[in-house]
Structures are given as structure tokens and as C-alpha cells.
Chain A
Amino acid sequence: DQQVKQNSPSLSVQEGRISILNCDYTNSMFDYFLWYKKYPAEGPTFLISISSIKDKNEDGRFTVFLNKSAKHLSLHIVPSQPGDSAVYFCAASARGNNRLAFGKGNQVVVIP
């Protein structure tokens, strides 16, 4: 039972344009959401997170939006750069529980 879902497994975007990645979750107990970036043959690297008390968190070119009523979050990367080409995982955890549930990941390819 996939509690965190990432559809549209791959995305190609032109350098300088916006990349938007979507993530849906089913567990209403989740209150902390994270995005990880993964390059081939490396471990996932933390990118940005958001707590359920917020609806937006921004860090440089990366912004995460949370819509609790829809159980949906999205990651915006603007402007996209070739170094952003990677697999992006959405993850979530419940209060008092550090166990992360991961989505299947989205492959992003930024075309120079």
C-alpha cells in the first residue's frame, strides 16, 4: 500500500524554465514532508522540507507547497539548471515518528 505517490515518473525541462514535481499522500497522520534528490550511484540528499503547520517553504531556487486538505505537495525548481538532473523523492513522516515513507521518485532531465 503506497502511502506516498509520485506520478509522472519522468520530466524533461529546458534549462531556465520551471520544474514542477507533484506528490500525493494518503496517511492523514503525516505531518512532516521532505524532498530528496538522488544522483546515480549516490545516496539520497536532503533538499527541502515542510511542516504541516505551513503551506509553503522556500530555499533559494526550491519551493515546496503543501495543500493539506488535498493531501498534496509539490516541489518547484526555478530556474532549472543542468545540475538539477536527478531523481527526486518525496517522503513523509508522522508526528513523533522518524520513519520516512517514500514515493517512487521522479526522474528530472534538464536540457541545456
Chain B
Amino acid sequence: NAGVTQTPKFRILKIGQSMTLQCTQDMNHNYMYWYRQDPGMGLKLIYYSVGAGITDKGEVPNGYNVSRSTTEDFPLRLELAAPSQTSVYFCASSYPTAEAFFGQGTRLTVV
């Protein structure tokens, strides 16, 4: 069982560059999420989706965009990368009212 798969695992971006963090899940979960974790901090919700075609902002959405064209995939787009977006990004999925399963994370550094 693959669960939640994130790519890439590591990435270094220059200020102003763009990239897409990929996330796919094979558990047929309706709900998917993107979190970021800064050093010494808990996870903060960036965007979430309750099903294909439906997305909504979380706690820290600025500088990011998402799309959900299929149940399996939930990519996170960074436009005009900034040093403040240096973080570890986690994608997760779940059934409604159930625990979330997380991917292994993407460590992003913006220089």
C-alpha cells in the first residue's frame, strides 16, 4: 500500500521561482490537505479539499495555490517563491471524521 506519496522529497528554489509539489493518494479518501511545518512549530494548514473540484483556504494560504481535478491528486503550487516559504510541506488525506494519513514530506529551501 503506497498511501500518500509526495514528490519531490527535497528541493532548493531561488527567490522568485515557481514549483509544484505533487501529492497523490491511493486510499480513495475524499479529504486532502496541505500542511507546512516550520522548525519548532506545529503543522499549519495551507489548503484543503473535501472532494474533486472543491478546495478551500486553510490558516496560511498566501503565496500558494491548489487544484483538485481527481480524487487521487492534490498538487500545491508555489508562485514567486520567497524565503518565508522555506519549510517542510506535508500532504495528508482522510475519510470524513477520521484520522489523516500523511506523506513523508517535502523539504523546501528558498535561497
CB 8 Å contact bits of A37-50 with B (1 = contact, 0 = none): 00001111110010
Known contacts being A99-B45, A102-B43, is A32 close to B97, with CB within 8 Å? yes
Assess whether B58 is in contact with A99, with CB atoms less than 8 Å apart: yes
- Given A100-B45, A102-B42, A104-B42, are A46 and B33 neighbors across the interface (CB < 8 Å)? no
Tell yes or no: B12 within 8 A of A by CB. Answer: no
Q: Which residues of A contact B105 (CB under 8 A)?
A: 41-43
Chain B hits for A98, CB < 8 A: 31, 33, 48, 50, 94, 96-98, 100
Enumerate B85-110 residues with CB–CB distance to A below 8 Å: 90, 92, 94, 96-105
Q: By the criterion CB–CB under 8 Å, are A105 and B42 in contact?
A: yes
Residues of B within 8 A of A100 (CB): 33, 43, 45, 100
- Separation in Å of the B39 CB from the closest CB of chain A? 10
Q: Are B41's CB and A104's CB within 8 A?
A: yes
How big is the B interface, by class?
20 to 34
> Is B40 in contact with chain A by the CB < 8 A criterion?
yes
Q: Assess whether A43 is in contact with B48, with CB atoms less than 8 Å apart.
A: no
- A103 / chain B contacts, CB cutoff of 8 Å: 42
B76 in the interface (beta carbon within 8 A): no
In the bound assembly, the distance between CA atoms of A42 and B48 in angstroms comes to 21
Cβ < 8 Å to A, chain B residues 40-70 = 40-45, 48, 50, 58
A contact residues vs B (CB 8 Å cutoff): 4, 6, 9, 32, 34, 36, 41-46, 49, 89, 96, 98-105
Given contacts A98-B97, A104-B41, 13 further A-B contacts (CB under 8 A): A4-B42, A6-B42, A9-B40, A34-B99, A43-B105, A44-B102, A46-B101, A96-B97, A98-B96, A99-B58, A100-B43, A100-B100, A105-B42
Shortest Cβ-Cβ A-B pairs, 10 listed: A43-B102, A102-B42, A46-B99, A102-B43, A104-B42, A44-B102, A43-B104, A103-B42, A98-B31, A43-B103
